[in-house]
Chains A and B, each alone.
Chain A
Amino acid sequence: MTVRDERALRDLVKSDRVHRDFYTSPDVFDLEMERIFARAWLLVGHDSQVPNPGDFVTTTLCRHPVIMSRHRDGRVHVMFNRCSHRGAQICTEPRGNAKRFECPYHGWVYDTDGRHAGAPYPARYADGFLKAGGFDLAAVPRLAIYRGFVFASLGAEGPGLDDFLGPMKSHIDAMVDRAPGGEVEASAGAFRYRFGANWKIQMENQNDLYHPMFTHASTTARDGTQFRRHGAEDDEAGRVRLLKENEALNEQWEELPVGGHRYGHTYMGMFPMNKGQSGPVHERYRAAMEARYGDRAERAMAVRFHNSIFYPQWSIQYLTQHIRLMNPVSVDCTENVIIPLRLKGAPEEMWRAALRSNNNSHSPAGMVMSDDMEVWVRCQNALTSPGNDWVVFARGASEEQADNRGSFEVRGTSEANARHQHRAWLGYMCGEA
């Protein structure tokens, strides 16, 4: 039996559990790269990482080195970082500004849109050989940008970005619309880390409201509040209450909406906070928002979600203001890139608070992230052992009923979102997506 056999795939995913091979089988991983990661739209980054003509960043997209650059005509390009001559990686700087990209091996040069711009000593090539073309840097098969978010697809076939995002577009809007300037900016660099666990373990974790009070117990103060996640001026604003005074679960958590949309995307509502934002900085922010949005300002300012996961590869965290790219490296290794987003036109103090919030919770030493990575690695390590083949996702089993557009919403500590991801996984893997 091979994992390419549809029955074998279906045997891995039951309605309320998945087989441990789902996380540990290298064959399953290879097939995922082919059937999920080469079909879905993946996030490369944000176009504000390359604000000026000639700006570029290098990154990896599903294990392939790529360059994202802005050409002199202002357009953003994403191309494989591989010379068309004999295959050398052209650019190893993490970021910079270039007039042209020059290959270190034999000096072939490329324009910042990937166009082949010449080879040294061309006389030894047959007449017209170089001109005949085919030597541009290979662009990603499909590229699309929505509100500055740069997406690429490694497959020429598959749903268009509009269809792929569906209602999740409004989850991008929910982040970007909070900026009085109507744009977000990735101007603070990024954190990068890797951990020894399968990519799906992180996917299942991010909307999991069942875990914070245990996994993150060490950040919970005696009164049941977690450290301040965000808040420009008021120490209490942004404190997350995980527990009641008596260390019981704070029932407000069970009220939080959690839900999903087609293609395995999921989201979770905003955490119950002690109180909203207030104070002079917030008033300045409100004024800026009202100037832009008029009576729609209140709605645009609201932080409606804690996070939204764009299956299979990235997420937005709203209060902390970052995007998280989650790139699979191997069956038991995943690499994260955390990119904080600045709300253009919002008071500087808010940005400073958001940046510090990112440092505190999501740096490699982050007080939230380090707990999460620890438990994910423990899952991966233990799942290799025989004796119990199943991993259980039965909280609130089968309560999620998708509507005719494939969307559902339930509440609280249900494991519905993970089950939704599992169904999407089967869809991709069995060629239905």
Chain B
Amino acid sequence: MRDEIEKFLFREARLLDERRFEEWMNLFAEDGYYWVPAAPGLEDPYDGVSIFFDDRAVMKTRLQRLDHTRIHSQKPASRTVHTVSNVEIDGDYGAVGEILVRSAVTMLEYRLEKQTAFAGRCRHLLRIAEGGGFEIAWKRVDLINCDGVFETLSVPF
């Protein structure tokens, strides 16, 4: 199981690095969401502002935009490396067929002569999909600088 879960997470990271955003989105369940709170310790996405709080509909708008020919903030496009580590698996969380996976993520981003580092704790709630494999019920990334001062962000963590 651990092996499959790690493979899943590593592939997810690679999809983002290769800017295969639609494939990345399709890792999420239809009712899935991606959440990056803008404050530490938020319990509920409606308790405060979020850097990303995307259901599939918002995700689709955002990711189509990343492929748009006139997205100025991605000209040139960001190059990123996402590194996923410290994977811990908690099969006792949530419903049957759901697995909570904790990990650490770092993203290095290079764009316009500038390299920026991001790091955070990451939680995926994975569901075992019908035909085997996993889908993401939700993914939450708690950046260590979540309530800090940012410059423009484009690529999900």
Q: Chain B's nearest CB lies how many Å from the CB of A46? A: 14
Q: Which residues of B contact A48 (CB under 8 A)?
A: none
A364–B153 contact, CB under 8 A? yes
Instruction: Name A178-193 residues within 8 Å CB distance of B.
Output: 188-193
A218/B46 in contact, CB under 8 A = no
Tell me if A94 and B153 are in contact (CB < 8 A).
no
B5 interface residue per 8 A CB criterion: no
How far is A8 from B149 in the complex, measured between Cα atoms in Å?
Answer: 36
Supposing A359-B53, A363-B38 touch, asked if A195 and B46 sit within 8 A by C-beta, the answer is: no
Residues of B within 8 A of A214 (CB): 70
- Is there contact, CB below 8 Å, between A189 and B62? no
Q: Give residues 221-271 of A contacting B (CB, 8 Å).
A: 227
Partner of B72, one of A94, A193, A369, A374: A374
- In the complex, A351→B44 CA distance in Å? 14
- Which chain A positions have C-beta within 8 A of B39? 189
Supposing A217-B68, A358-B49 touch, asked if A367 and B62 sit within 8 A by C-beta, the answer is yes
Chain A residues whose CB sits within 8 angstroms of the CB of B151 once the complex forms: 193-195, 364, 373
Other-chain contact of B48, A188, A193, A194 (Cβ < 8 Å):
A188
Q: Is B86 an interface residue (CB 8 A)?
A: no
Return B114 CB to nearest CB of chain A, in Å.
10
A244-B68 Cα distance, complex, nearest whole Å = 19
Contact A218 B70 (CB under 8 A): yes
Question: Which residue of chain B has the shortest Cβ distance to A364 in the bound complex?
Answer: B150
B72, A215: Cβ atoms under 8 Å?
yes
Q: Across the interface, do B49 and A355 meet the contact criterion of CB distance under 8 Å? A: yes
Smallest beta-carbon distance B153→chain A, Å: 4
A188 and B149 contact, Cβ closer than 8 Å, known pairs A365-B52, A370-B154: no
Is B49 a contact of A218 with CB atoms below 8 Å? no
- B51 at the binding interface (Cβ < 8 Å): yes
* A191: contacting residue among B38, B65, B71, CB under 8 A: B38
Interface pair A370/B149, CB less than 8 Å apart:
no
Using a CB-CB cutoff of 8 Å, which residues 151-191 of chain A contact chain B? 188-191
CB-based contact B148/A363 at 8 Å: no
Point out the residue from B46, B61, B153 that lies within 8 Å of A365, measured CB to CB: B153
Q: How many positions in chain A have a CB within 8 Å of any CB in the partner chain?
A: 36
Question: Is B49 a contact partner of A365 (Cβ separation < 8 A)?
Answer: no
Contacts of B149 in A (CB 8 A): 192-194, 335
Residue-wise interface mask of B (54-78) relative to A, using a CB-CB cutoff of 8 A (1 in contact, 0 not): 0000100110010010111100000
A340 touches B49 (CB 8 A): yes
User: Smallest CB–CB gap between A372 and chain B, Å?
Assistant: 9
Given the known interface contacts A195-B151, A219-B65, the answer about A359 and B72 at a Cβ–Cβ threshold of 8 Å is no
A374 near B73 (CB under 8 angstroms)?
A: yes
A356 CB–B CB distance under 8 Å: yes
Interface residues of A in 350-401 (CB under 8 A from B): 351-352, 355-356, 358-360, 363-365, 367, 369-371, 373-375, 378
**A387 CB, min distance to chain B CBs, angstroms:** 22
B80 to chain A, nearest CB (A): 13
What string of 1s and 0s marks CB contacts (under 8 Å) between B139-152 and chain A?
A: 00000000111111
Q: Which chain A residue lies CB-closest to B60?
A: A227
Contact present for B72 and A189 (CB under 8 Å): no
Evaluate contact between A190 and B148: CB separation under 8 angstroms. no
Q: Which of B49, B62, B153 is packed against the most chain A CB atoms within 10 Å?
A: B49
CB atoms of B61 and A363 under 8 A apart = no
Contact in complex: A370, B153 (CB < 8 Å): yes
With A363-B38, A373-B151 as contacts: A352 and B58 at CB distance below 8 Å: no
Chain A residues with CB under 8 A of B68? 217-218
Fill in one digit per residue for A326-365: 1 if any B CB lies within 8 Å of its CB, else 0: 0000000001001010000000000110011011100111
A189 touches B51 (CB 8 A): no
Interface presence of B85 (CB below 8 A): no
* Nearest-Cβ distance from residue A182 to partner chain B, whole angstroms: 23
In the bound complex, how far is the Cα of B73 from the Cα of A374, in angstroms?
A: 5
Q: Is B47 an interface residue (CB 8 A)?
A: yes
> If A215-B72, A363-B52, A370-B73 touch, does A192 touch B153 (CB 8 Å cutoff)?
no
Q: For B154, what are the chain A residues with a Cβ–Cβ distance below 8 Å?
A: 365, 370
- Contact status of A189 and B73, CB under 8 A, knowing A94-B147, A367-B61, A370-B154: no
Nearest residue in B to A235 (C-beta to C-beta)?
A: B57
CB-CB under 8 A from A219, the residues of chain B are 61, 65
Min C-beta distance of A346 to chain B, whole Å: 14
B106 at the interface (CB under 8 A from A): no
Among residues 20 to 59 in chain A, which have CB atoms less than 8 Å away from a CB atom of chain B?
none
Closest Cβ–Cβ distance, residue B39 to chain A (whole Å)? 5
**Binary per-residue interface labels of chain B (30-52) against chain A in the complex, 1 for a CB within 8 Å, 0 otherwise:** 00000010110000001111111
**Could you list 10 examples of A-B contacts with CB < 8 Å?**
A189-B39, A218-B72, A335-B149, A359-B49, A359-B50, A360-B62, A364-B151, A370-B153, A370-B154, A373-B73
A-B interface, 9 closest residue pairs, ranked by CB to CB distance from nearest: A364-B150, A218-B68, A218-B71, A365-B153, A374-B73, A217-B70, A370-B152, A189-B48, A370-B73
- Knowing that A367-B61, A370-B154 touch, tell me 9 more A-B residue pairs with CB under 8 angstroms: A192-B150, A195-B151, A352-B46, A355-B46, A363-B49, A363-B153, A365-B153, A367-B62, A374-B152
| B interface residue numbers (CB < 8 A to A) | 36, 38-39, 46-53, 58, 61-62, 65, 68, 70-73, 147-154
Binding site for B on A (CB under 8 A): 94, 188-195, 214-215, 217-219, 227, 335, 338, 340, 351-352, 355-356, 358-360, 363-365, 367, 369-371, 373-375, 378
